[in-house]
């Protein structure tokens, strides 16, 4: 139980009472319990670390229900970031480039991030400049759909650039 309620609140002489239908202020624990009993509601400790602890008078089950609903709503509203990868070779042909560019545009329109990389095999690592130019051109062609998060960088045998969608 994350919040202490009613008789579970112990070790404090007085509490700060907040809430809708109550006079806000500092009360003794016994007074606060009595006020909660009169209204047929629970005394719930909201902030235990405060001095004195902050308590609220409310229906605890309803409070838990609303809290759970709010968390569920936040989870549903949070966007799940998906990263789509697009792989090039250092000598990618024009047709293949355009094909991959169209896919990247679709991914960015759908709100996904695009991770484009040039994969160097064997001695093709000698063509680093070609890979960098290819990724720069790719990022430039996608400028209206997304923005580059960082300049192209070489990681092992891959040169990578990340592009985030524009909102």
The two beta strands, 158-165 and 153-155, are antiparallel
Each residue of 24-65: pLDDT tens digit? Answer: 889 888 888 888 888 888 888 888 888 888 988 888 899 889
Q: What is the 8-class DSSP label of residue 51?
A: S
The helix/strand/coil state of 65 is helix
Q: What share of the chain is helix, strand, coil (3-state, %, to 5)?
A: 40, 30, 30
Average pLDDT score, the chain? 86
Local structure of 4: helix, strand or coil: coil
The answer to whether the bond into 38 is cis (omega within 30° of 0) is no
CATH of 6-75, one of 3.10.20.80, 3.40.50.1100, 2.40.50.180, 3.20.20.20: 3.10.20.80
Q: What are the domain boundaries of the chain? A: 6-75, 83-165
Fold of 83-165: Translation Initiation Factor IF3 (3.30.110)
pTM given for the model: 0.52
Best-predicted range by mean pLDDT among 27-36, 124-133, 147-156? 27-36
């Amino acid at each position: 139980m994350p919040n202490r309620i009613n008789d579970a609140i112990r070790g404090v002489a007085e509490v700060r009472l907040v809430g809708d239908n109550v006079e806000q202020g500092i009360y003794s624990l016994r007074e606060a319990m009595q006020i909660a009993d009169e209204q047929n509601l629970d005394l719930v400790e909201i902030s235990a670390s405060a001095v004195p602890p902050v308590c609220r008078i409310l229906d605890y089950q309803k409070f838990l229900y609303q809290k759970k609903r709010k968390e569920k709503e936040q989870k549903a509203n949070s966007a799940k970031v998906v990263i789509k990868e697009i792989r090039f070779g250092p000598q990618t042909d024009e047709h293949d480039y355009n094909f991959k560019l169209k896919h990247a545009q679709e991914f960015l329109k759908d709100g996904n991030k695009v991770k484009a990389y040039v994969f160097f095999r064997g001695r093709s690592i000698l063509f680093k400049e070609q890979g960098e130019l290819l990724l720069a051109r790719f990022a430039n062609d996608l400028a209206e759909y997304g923005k580059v998060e960082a300049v192209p960088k070489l990681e092992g045998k891959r040169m990578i650039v990340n592009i985030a969608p524009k909102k």
